Amino acid sequence: MARDDRTAAPARGEPMWLAAGAAVFGVLLGGLAVFLGMQEQPPAHAPAPVTAPPTAVLPELPQQAPAEEHCVTGCSPGKEGSLVEAVALTREMVVTLRSKDTIGAGVVVDDTGLVLTNFHVIAGEIRDGSRRVLSASGTPEVTGAVRARFADGRELPAVLLVADRDQDIALLQLRPADSAERFAAARLGRSSSLRVGEGVFSVGTPLGLEHSVSQGIVAALGRTHILRNKQTPLIQLDASINVGNSGGPLFNLRGDLVGITTATIERAQGIAFAIPVDHIFTLLRALKQGELARSGQIGVEVDSRIAVSEAAAGLGYRNGLVLQQVFAGQPAAQAGLQAGDIIVEARGQRFDAYGAGELARARLAREFVQMVRGLIPGETLALTVLRGETRLPVTLVVAAAPADRQVFIDAEELLGLLLDEKITQPTVDELRPLAPITHWRGREQLLGARLSQIAGVRVQSIHDLRSVLTELRQLGREGTVAISFTLKDGRELPIADFPVSSP
């Protein structure tokens, strides 16, 4: 049974380069374990204690345009302007960014001089690249100022406000001599209004050629598994994107900012990607509100043992998730979902590729868990559900997992451990099927064991565990960590290389 918590690596075989330079809880999947040679030995040394991630202090963020159509001077509402007009309108808003080892681009998004770009454009200036989210709060994270140059040749320093490595986003602040100076800023469009085939253009510094314009179309929407955060939905383009285009704006032909150029496929021609502006500002708002470290949730319970109905099969659906319960006041209930509904599509994609049968449904449920948990609170999720023989399109606004649930989600996602929620001391109830730890030969010893130490930090309660896992989530990378368990018979079991999964 799967219960909602009421709460970037390239695709294999596809070389990538960055062009600069609700969870459902307790899904049982089964699967065979494979011995990976984990040894039961104490760590060679105790790492430094883990600290909580910094809190980002951001200025007021600019507002996006209303969802309805809008246009620039010289065009009628709902009509696209010409490329020449749109480029002229946006010219003063684009900057070339130079850091220690990298050249890229950015775009001014408000009149005080906030500049959006990619994390990897300014990565060479970062002191500690191991952290997922960097903030200017407290100790400065940047060794020197990035230089921003406008189309007319004027150059200003820019300092980092916040950056997210896994989402490849950074927000900078221009530092003019007169702090009261105001700048021309891009109008923030709505990437959710983009259509496949719609004309767009990017501006950047390909191969050092500043303020170069490249035109193309939207080739596809909602591409995932491209960036380090595999759930980030990207806009696929057919525009000519090269090294140096990273961080540059993607505009529609009305001159509205709809994305930030981020990556391309090395072996392909005319395939590139941009981060949607809706996603970017949802991310920044969640960070400002302190919700970025929280998983997404939609408030449903599903049981992967239940097969899709004959009605669903009659409509051609091989797989789906049957809702057993929809929790009141949560996103699914607010969107009108009901028990008995069957989710058959997410983000415009059917689930048929998973195949049919209980194992396929279990695999689908687990993938759905990860997708929902990877969404940013405030982000939208488009679903198609079946109610009898009626197909219903539904759009949910994802909520943040409650703080008291997040520690259990993190233990499951990061460590593969399902903890007993009735015990105040962190005690292993089950192992998440297919988690890396399930490949360990001695995994059975962990059932009923209590976590006693992680990364040199003593863990005596769920509260202690929460702060440690928050830090592991902030590091946001796969690897290993030293963990000690107290077994049911009282023996201590130290594991020097316990596997950690990226959230």
pLDDT per residue as tens digits for the range 306-341: 887 777 888 888 888 889 999 999 999 999 999 999
Superfamily of 296-400 according to CATH: PDZ domain (2.30.42.10)
pLDDT of residue 140: 45
Q: pLDDT means per 10 residues in the chain (503 residues)? A: 43 39 28 23 35 52 64 46 87 89 89 91 73 55 73 91 86 89 91 90 86 89 81 85 84 92 73 90 82 83 81 83 91 93 88 81 84 87 90 91 86 90 89 85 89 89 86 72 91 89 68
- Secondary structure in 3-state letters for 78-145: CCCCCHHHHHHHHHHHEEEEECCCCEEEEEECCCCCEEEECHHHHHHHECCCCCCEEECCCCCCECCC
Listing from the earlier edge strand, what are the strands of the sheet with 457-458? 457-458, 450-454, 479-486, 492-500
Kindly name the residue from 110, 168, 410, 464 that is annotated as catalytic.
168
What is the per-residue pLDDT for 21? 35
The domain defined by 70-291 folds into Thrombin, subunit H (2.40.10)
Q: Report the candidate in 117, 121, 166, 146 with the shortest Cα–Cα distance to residue 20.
A: 121
Close Cβ partners of 486 (under 8 Å, ≥ 6 residues apart): 449, 450, 452, 492, 493
Catalytic annotation present for 168: yes
Share of the chain above pLDDT 90, in %: 25
- Give me the residue spans of the domains in the chain: 39-50+403-500, 70-291, 296-400
Class of CATH domain 39-50+403-500: mainly beta
Per annotation, catalytic residue among 246, 295, 304, 502: 246
pLDDT of residue 133: 66
Query: CATH topology of 39-50+403-500 equal to that of 296-400?
Result: yes
The rounded distance, in Å, linking the Cα atoms of 501 and 476 is 8
pTM of the model: 0.72
Active-site residue, selected from the candidate residues 4, 120, 135, 256: 120
pLDDT in tens, 54-83: 445 666 777 777 665 444 444 444 456 788
